[in-house]
Amino acid sequence: MGFRLRLIAWASVLLLAASCAEKGVDQPVAKEEGSLPTQETRVRKWVEYRGGKRSWEFKGEIVRYYEEPERVESDGVAVDFYDEEEQFLSTLTAERGSIDRKTSDMEARGSVVLTNREGARLETDWIRYENESDRIYTDAFVTLSEGRKRITGYGLRTDPGLENAEILRDVVAFTVEGPENE
């Protein structure tokens, strides 16, 4: 191959590499026309109040703000829920989450875990929190565990403290052998 042909081939490789670098993983991907975030920040916290008292705190590692519809999306989500006396109830963690900025409803997706102050634990792929009713629900597969007790099934309705949890269908309850705190 002649020098000129090698130079053209090398230039093509550099252009392709530059083009790929511009589309790197750090760039937000538009889901539809006009859906790019208007702002992106790192490690952000929101506090929601009900009747002047803290109801929940949302923390996200990488937070993106959108205007239409008004929402916030985040990677690396942690939400702490509080009761009417502002006492800690539970913590929710997930790979991704979003907040509707008008209603303060939240959705969490990817390795969702909700653990209450007594150690009860909910695991699922996604959940939705309705701020006005202070309720959590999902139609996905769920596992509820406390000590050695496990309950699995599909669909769930509960409060953030997991006090009144109801699994909706295909419910299976069992006990795991081993120490109580496994």
pLDDT of the residue at 153? 97
Mind listing the pLDDT tens digit for each residue in 75-99?
Answer: 999 999 999 999 999 999 999 999 9
Band the pLDDT of 175: cuts 50, 70, 90.
very high
Domain ranges of the chain: 37-175
Mind listing the pLDDT tens digit for each residue in 130-143?
Answer: 999 999 999 999 99
Higher pLDDT pick, 117 / 41: 117
Distances (CA, A) of 156 to 32, 52, 152: 31, 29, 10
pLDDT of the residue at 75? 92
Does the pLDDT of residue 170 top 50, yes or no?
A: yes
Higher pLDDT pick, 142 / 9: 142
At 29, is the secondary structure helix, strand, or coil? Answer: coil
Which H, E and C letters describe 50-99, residue by residue?
Answer: ECCEEEEEEEEEEEEEECCCCEEEEEEEEEEEECCCCCEEEEEEEEEEEE
Q: What is the pTM of this model?
A: 0.74
| Angstrom distance (rounded) from CA 120 to CA 110 | 19
Distances (CA, A) of 109 to 29, 127, 153: 18, 7, 18
| Angstrom distance (rounded) from CA 65 to CA 67 | 7
The answer to whether 61 and 44 have CB atoms below 8 angstroms apart is no
pLDDT of the residue at 63? 84
Looking at domain 37-175, which CATH architecture does it have?
Answer: Sandwich (2.60)
The enclosing H or E element of 15 equals: helix 3-22
Mind listing the pLDDT tens digit for each residue in 20-73?
Answer: 444 443 434 344 445 776 666 676 787 888 889 999 999 988 888 888 778 888
